[in-house]
A = this chain, B = another copy of it.
Amino acid sequence: MIKFTRKCFHIKTSLFHRNLTTQTGRKKLVILGTGWGGYSLLRNIDKKVFDVVVISPRNYFLFTPLLASTTVGTLEFRSIIEPVRNVRFRQTADFHLSYATKVDRDNKVLHCESVLQPGLGYTLNYDKLVLAVGARSNTFNVPGVEEHAFFLKDIPDARKIRNRIIQNIELSLHPGLDENERKRLLNFVIVGGGPTGVEFGAELYDWIEQDVARVYHQRKDQVHVTLVESNQILSSFDERLRHFAEKKIKERDRFKLVKSSVTRVTSDCVKLSNGEDLPCGLVVWSTGLSPTQFVKSLDVQKNKSGQILTDKYLHVIGDTTDSVYALGDCADIKDNSLPCIAQVAERQGEYVANLLCGKADKEFTFQSKGMLAYVGHYQGVSDIPNMKMQGITSWFLWRSAYLTKLGSWRLRMQVPMDWTKAILFGRDISRFD
């Protein structure tokens, strides 16, 4: 039996890598992240040209636009994720469930650590490195957010929210519960009126109207939702659509739109800058993005928000080795800033795949396909170039556009099945850890 020390293992990898390059004649591309950017790159890269290694703390790609639907069980968690090892992965790509901890750009060596066994570190050589690690939710340093609020970025977040919602409503039905406590449990607060916050509110609304009414009818009139936004909701949408969404939300009983900002979150309350206290049983926080720890630790040029600055070819500025690229939410193109949305990251992944294989030589350009948002009760808004729509047609467009965008036939089979089940039988309210 051979025991490798970390150092000795590094040497072995290097040798192995050199051999591999020689044997296969392919260069080694390391992709960090399996979000829209990294996954798109992985799908599009020509694996005859590169040996690909993917490093990510999760082994699946998440179809983020439908994440809010999983918080109440309209869709199931596994219906909107696709294992990275499934798709066009084959024998030429390798995957490690790890974090990157450090990049040694001079020697083209990446330091990684296992997600599953902290302390299990290793190094990898690369010829090309693409940073597509995404971003974290931004707490804006508001006290208590990190400890008490729920984010909505990934499947474990959605699972926690779903469990909390079911728990709160079950607990609210317990005999012997204080009346104020009962009210608090059924007050849900959403901070941030972007698409995530609005769509989570929409799903909550449908859940209250359809499922609470069905199985928890005693509580139907007691569930309240407050959406806190200091500016406008859906601010990136056209003004008419924004007003439509706002009107829809405001005309709902038990829904409240509060223009204020949050000064503190505690275990049972959200404190607003207007002095109001919102006692609540759930806080979902979706107010923007901030860089990950790894991006913070990188010694490269960044913009004011801490995103890695790249040139118009998505090449990291200041990288003299011509080997490091950055894309998606963790990056920003100097003098050509683009919004942090899935479409941009996906297009960038595709672009870098072509660029690295010599199939593209022009600067990266982006043409938006438009934006969709669901506002609940079969109503949507679509802000598409030359076509602004609202109402049920937009909802229909929302569903069909996402359905065709889903990355695999497995998901395309399961998502409509989940939608059908939710209509026929209601959403599943079973509670388990």
Contact = CB atoms under 8 A, between A and B. Distances in A.
B156 A432 contact: yes
A221 interface: no
Interface string A421-433: 1001110111111
Interface residues of A, number: 66
B430 A78 contact: yes
B425 A408 contact: yes
Number of copies: 2
A2 interface: yes
Given A3-B178, A156-B433, A178-B4, A86 B410 contact: no
Nearest to A84: B430
A275 B357 CA distance: 58
B86 A425 contact: yes
A432 B2 contact: no
A428 B413 CA distance: 14
Contact of A59 (B86, B154, B431): B431
Nearest to A82: B430
Contact of A76 (B1, B76, B426): B76
A136 interface: no
Interface string A380-412: 000000000000000000000000000011100
Contact of A154 (B60, B159, B174, B432): B432
Contacts of A96: 173-175
A194 interface: no
Interface stretch (A118-126, A291-299, A323-331): A118-126
Interface string A1-32: 11110100100010000000000000000000
Nearest to A177: B120
B117 A179 contact: no
A76 to B, nearest CB: 6
22 contacts: A1-B178, A1-B180, A2-B179, A4-B178, A58-B432, A59-B166, A59-B429, A77-B432, A83-B215, A83-B428, A83-B430, A85-B215, A85-B429, A89-B215, A96-B174, A97-B174, A98-B174, A114-B174, A116-B167, A117-B171, A156-B433, A414-B417
